[in-house]
């Protein structure tokens, strides 16, 4: 296999926000959502490269809308872009009303993972082949973000 489609490694999971996962006002505790994001993103990265992965960076994390105790929390992750040994994964967090099933996007995040070989050294990752218009848009935008991050690194180091 020379490449994989994003849909071959994408992950979707769902939680119910419980009281111990909220702050004193009943909103989701950000750290809980961040842990869920890291987990669902790492699974997509693992599924893409078929190896152990580590989180290199959380490049962007935006809490756009609150999540409350009792909401269903749906997390969707997919590999947007692949470098040589790294992968950018996008995560969308959606809250769903448990009764009406109304869905609202609450959080979006981009993370970078590095694939590791058995010696824990970065390993080359199989390329990604976006197929749908949405996958192609995500790939194009992720490539732009990766290049911008490289430019910033060059300027500040």
Ligand X SMILES: CC(C)(COP(=O)(O)OP(=O)(O)OC[C@H]1O[C@@H](n2cnc3c(N)ncnc32)[C@H](O)[C@@H]1OP(=O)(O)O)[C@@H](O)C(=O)NCCC(=O)NCCS
Binding site for ligand X (CB under 6 A): 54-56, 83-86, 114, 122, 149, 153
CB of 28 to ligand X, least distance (A): 22
Q: Which is nearer to ligand X, 6 or 67 (CB)?
A: 6
CB of 117 to ligand X, least distance (A): 10
Q: Which is nearer to ligand X, 70 or 83 (CB)?
A: 83
Say if strands 86-96 and 72-82 run parallel, antiparallel, or are unpaired. Answer: antiparallel
Residue, CB closest to ligand X: 83
Q: Which is nearer to ligand X, 97 or 117 (CB)?
A: 117
Q: How is residue 59 written in tokens? A: 């490049």
Per-residue CA distances from 130 to 13, 51, 56, 75 (Å): 22, 21, 23, 20
CB of 53 to ligand X, least distance (A): 8
**In contact, 139 and 82? CB cutoff 8 Å:** no
Q: Which is nearer to ligand X, 101 or 154 (CB)?
A: 154
CB of 129 to ligand X, least distance (A): 17
Q: How far apart are CA 58 and CA 62, in angstroms?
A: 11
């Amino acid at each position: 296999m020379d490449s994989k489609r994003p849909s071959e490694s994408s992950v979707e999971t769902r939680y119910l926000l419980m009281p111990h996962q909220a702050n004193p006002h009943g909103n989701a505790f950000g750290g809980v959502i961040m842990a869920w994001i890291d987990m669902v993103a790492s699974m997509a990265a693992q599924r893409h490269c078929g190896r152990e992965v580590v989180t290199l960076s959380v490049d962007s994390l935006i809490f756009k809308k609150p999540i409350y105790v009792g909401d269903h929390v749906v997390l969707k992750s997919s590999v947007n872009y692949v470098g040589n040994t790294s992968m950018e994964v996008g995560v969308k967090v959606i809250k769903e009303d448990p009764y009406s099933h109304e869905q609202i996007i609450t959080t979006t995040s981009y993370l970078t993972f590095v694939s590791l070989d058995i010696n824990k050294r970065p390993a080359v990752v199989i390329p990604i082949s976006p197929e749908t218009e949405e996958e192609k848009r995500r790939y194009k935008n992720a490539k732009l973000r990766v290049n911008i991050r490289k430019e910033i690194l060059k300027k500040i180091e």
